């Protein structure tokens, strides 16, 4: 994490977020796509996690 220290993001936080999205990512994307503000940002973690595009769209 090159810029994490400037954003106050610790490696432990990133590990925890990756585990959470690995477990709940599909459901988080499904419900996140239904809320206006979250809809804008849910595609970033889904893309980073290389979520199946077809499942993301559906």
pLDDT tens for 10-34 read 788 778 878 888 888 778 787 877 8
**Would residue 5 count as lying in a domain?**
no
Query: What is the residue range of 22's domain?
Result: 14-57
pTM as predicted:
0.55
Per-residue model confidence (pLDDT) at position 10 = 79
State the Cα torsion 3-9-12-14 to the nearest 10°: -80
Please, are residues 29 and 51 in contact by the beta-carbon 8 Å criterion? yes
Residue 49, pLDDT > 60, answer yes
2 confidence band (pLDDT: 50, 70, 90):
low
Structural domains of the chain, count:
1
Residue 6 lies in a domain: no
């Amino acid at each position: 994490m090159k810029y994490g220290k400037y954003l106050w993001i610790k490696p432990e936080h990133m590990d925890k977020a990756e585990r959470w999205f690995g477990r709940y990512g599909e459901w988080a994307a499904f419900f996140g796509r239904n809320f206006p503000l979250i809809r804008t940002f849910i595609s970033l973690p889904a893309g980073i996690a290389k979520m199946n595009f077809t499942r993301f769209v559906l």
